[in-house]
Structure 1
Amino acid sequence: MDAVLVINADLGPLHRVTVAHAIRMICRRVAEIHEAEPDRMLGVFPMPKVVRLVRYVVTRWRYTHGPAWSKAGVLHRDGRRCGYCAGPAATVDHILPRSRGGRNTWTNTVAACAACNQAKGDRTPAEAGMVLRVTPQTPSWSSLARR
């Protein structure tokens, strides 16, 4: 077990943390163990699977803005599949290259394999003669939370 789910006081999911972070939260009395691994202990504590915050944390910001852009988020959104050839992707390609003013945004980036990223280079897909299989969109918080 490498991640522990943190839920708000109203039982709504917030994010995941490491086991060590979860134990620190329990020691500081910020959170309580909501669900634990059966018959597994970490010192005097049961091995947590889910911890619940003691006080409610307002998460209004989650619903006013979408999630921040990240390379890992783009790869997760696209299922680690290349946006050009559908092969396994390990990198992110900018549809409008950064050298031409393209930014790190959800709608300007797509997961890409090394071969397609190299073939496209510093050009747009149209200039490179490549067809983009997907239309990049900004993901929702819930779709990124399902990891």
Structure 2
Amino acid sequence: MRTLVLNAGYEPLAVVSFKRALVLVMNEKATIIEQVEGDPVWGARGAYERPAVIILTRYVRVPGARHVPVTRRGVLRRDGHHCAYCGKSATTIDHVMPRSRGGKDTWENLVACCLRCNNVKGDRTPQEMSWSLRWAPHPPRGPQWSVRGTERADPRWEPYLALAA
């Protein structure tokens, strides 16, 4: 069971285990906004409901721009597991500007790619192959990328995540 943590201004911050959320509530650093009915957690001083959404009692300052780290899984997810060249199902990633030519591991230089296109393209640029990208690669945006752990969001969180969009 996972719990959505909101800042004091209702900004989504992270998703934590219900145990961590319960510790924050018990230490009076957060209050429960929404809880899972039934299935309580029993402690030495009684039963506690499992929190689904909590809000911090004090505002936590978040650094200006949250940088989403570049990962293979993230690139595939951003591109919807579709090849940027042919549109078929993608299982690999490709550097638009090859690394051997100075291409970096950035969101703007990586795209999802099917195995066939990746092997055919090899160490060349799309221009040299007379290929075009179906979409321009860009850093991912939205609350599911900026709030750690919301890739598999609980339906109860949707109203709170919508506030951040």
**Counterparts of 2:105 and 2:53 in 1: how far apart (Å)?**
33
**Counterparts of 1:137 and 1:76 in 2: how far apart (Å)?**
13
**Counterparts of 2:87 and 2:131 in 1: how far apart (Å)?**
13
Shift of residue 132, structure 1, vs aligned partner: 1.6
- Structure 2: where are the runs of 5+ without partners? 152-165
- Structure 1: where are the runs of 5+ without partners? none
Partner of 1:19: 18
Shift of residue 27, structure 1, vs aligned partner: 4.6
Shift of residue 28, structure 1, vs aligned partner: 4.6
TM-score by structure 1 length? Answer: 0.77
Letter in 1 for 2:112: A
**Counterparts of 2:79 and 2:144 in 1: how far apart (Å)?**
11
Partner of 1:7: 6
Shift of residue 8, structure 1, vs aligned partner: 0.4
Partner of 1:109: 110
Shift of residue 46, structure 1, vs aligned partner: 1.9
Shift of residue 7, structure 1, vs aligned partner: 0.7
Partner of 1:95: 96
Which deviates the most, 5-14 or 39-48? Answer: 39-48
Change (3 A) 1:94 1:30: farther
Partner of 1:58: 61
- Structure 1 runs (4+) deviating above 4 angstroms are none
Change (3 A) 1:20 1:74: farther
Larger RCO (CA under 8 A, 6+ residues apart): 2
Letter in 2 for 1:54: T
Letter in 2 for 1:90: T
Shift of residue 31, structure 1, vs aligned partner: 2.8
Partner of 1:40: 39
Kept after mapping to 2: 8 A contact 1:67/1:141: no
Partner of 2:77: 76
Partner of 2:156: none
Which deviates the most, 70-79 or 94-103? Answer: 70-79
Letter in 2 for 1:93: D
Change (3 A) 1:20 1:122: farther
**Counterparts of 1:42 and 1:122 in 2: how far apart (Å)?**
56
How many residue pairs align between the two structures?
A: 144
